[in-house]
Chain A
Amino acid sequence: GENVEQHPSTLSVQEGDSAVIKCTYSDSASNYFPWYKQELGKGPQLIIDIRSNVGEKKDQRIAVTLNKTAKHFSLHITETQPEDSAVYFCAAKGSGGSNYKLTFGKGTLLTVNP
């Protein structure tokens, strides 16, 4: 089955700096890659996603890039703010008969220091 690796596990930045989180996946047939933000005591909330037919997608301060050849994708947050502090998860959706199942990375705890 699919395997998703995520790095780093923790990331601390100063307010206004950029943050980058990287993930790799194992199943070359995976074609949907969402990113979720999870605040303490809450469920994961989708912040951005990318499908395999595009290489980059941007939404205000958040961007995601996808390299299908290398099987990795990254989340970029620019001009970070204290409210960006949370755990971020990348995920990949399986292929074929299990194309509804999300496989998640282990998460990155992002701390934005004021």
Chain B
Amino acid sequence: GAGVSQTPSNKVTEKGKYVELRCDPISGHTALYWYRQSLGQGPEFLIYFQGTGAADDSGLPNDRFFAVRPEGSVSTLKIQRTERGDSAVYLCASSTSGRASDTQYFGPGTRLTVL
């Protein structure tokens, strides 16, 4: 079946601009996660959704970052007033539920470059 998809695959923007990154999870998965991966590092947790609600947004670096999942399926990560330090690969993952033993399946990521 279809895996997690993310669009766009690449996004180049200028400092100060607003960007939106989209994630389509595996159909039926209620849990959705966003991670950020800087060059040469492992993914770092940003936010976790269970259904439509953000159950944990403790990983969001500051209030320029916001994410929504209005219908409990597709999610959008929004970054305001982008900074060069925001450049990274943004990964989305989904799982059947949020249980500890559930496998998280990752999408291919969106590579964000802030000039």
Contact = CB atoms under 8 A, between A and B. Distances in A.
Interface of A: 4, 6, 31-32, 34, 36, 41-46, 49, 51, 89, 91, 93, 98-107
B40 A101 contact: no
A49 B40 contact: no
B28 to A, nearest CB: 17
Given A43-B91, A44-B106, A100 B56 contact: yes
Name the prevailing secondary structure of the A interface residues.
strand
B43 A104 contact: yes
Contacts of B44: 104
Contacts of A4: 42
Main secondary structure of the interface of B (DSSP, over half): loop
Interface in B57-114: 59, 91, 95, 98-109
Nearest to A90: B42
B21 interface: no
A106 B108 contact: no
Interface bin, chain B = 20 to 34
Contacts of B35: 102
Given A46-B103, A93-B100, A101 B42 contact: no
B100 A99 contact: yes
A106 B105 contact: no
B43 A101 contact: no
Contacts of B101: 32, 51
B26 interface: no
Q: What are the nearest 5 A-B pairs in CB distance? A: A104-B42, A43-B106, A99-B100, A100-B98, A43-B108
B31 to A, nearest CB: 7
